[in-house]
Amino acid sequence: MKKGILLAAVILLSTAGFAQAQDELSGTVDLTYLSKYIWRGFALYDNQSAIQPSIDLDLYGTGLGLNVLWSRANSSGFENTEWVNLTLSYSSSCFEYETYATDYTVGWMYYNYPDQPPGGSPITNLASRAQNSAMQEFFVSLSWPEISPEGVVPSYTIIKMWVSESDSEMNRYLRSLGSDGLGGYLHILGLSYDLPVEDLLPDFPEQILHLSAAMVYNDGVNAFRAYDVDHDWTHAVLGVSTDFDLGNDLTFTPGAYYQKAFEHTDAFNDQIWCSLSVKYAF
């Protein structure tokens, strides 16, 4: 974790002088409730609910962003598997004014377990401690907002995950079970569409429904557990959400989601869940 924080600090400090001349620091503080925490197809916390506070910073209009998210289960027994994510990203666009105009985000994420128990027997505690190994990922996300005259926005995201230490307890434990370890790729094909709806509620003459669909190819990522994951298309997710402006820079966003597993296994199953989010912009 120290190396990751040091890398993020060096990048941020190296751009601070230029950044401050461009714009002001802005961002959002978010508090989200999830009826289930479905992480890239996997039902974490045994289908129990979770709460996720986060802060998202736009670094002076440079395109650089910094996000910190804390995922906490609302039930006991999951303290040692709750994580804090640190994400550093850069977003921009290219081919402006063209039909194939492309928005892109390139980023790096670090998963850390602040409540991971130190020490202990390497034999009796290997499995439980292995599940808490720190992970990293590098991702590239592309979208094409102008390519469809009907307003449908296609997207593609590729994610490469790996264990922070190649000879970590996690990889040793998974190799003892015949697995290649946690590392692998995720490929996500997505579609999104903003649907305006009039007179949905009395005080909101027009409401925008954010519709989304995604299909995921899992190439080895197994959610920090000893799941047997096929290298295949694993699941699809449909979602709908909408934003309510509460005034004073506050936004309330409810959402509902459905996951269809292509094959029912210990790792992937059909799921339905909802989210409730309150966001403050500054």
Residue ranges of domains in the chain = 2-281
What residues does 214 pair with on adjacent strands?
Answer: 190, 237
Interval 131-153 mean pLDDT: 90
The CATH number that domain 2-281 falls under is 2.40.160.40
Name the band, by pLDDT with cuts 50, 70 and 90, for residue 114.
confident
What residues does 279 pair with on adjacent strands?
Answer: 30, 251
Whether the pLDDT of residue 171 is over 80: the answer is no
Interval 223-241 mean pLDDT: 84
pLDDT tens-digit series, residues 90-99: 999 999 999 9
- Of 85, 95, 71, the C-alpha closest to 161 is 85
Tell me how far apart the 2 most distant CA atoms of the chain are, in Å.
62
Give the integer Cα–Cα distance in Å for 155 and 216. 12
* 125 or 147, greater pLDDT: 147
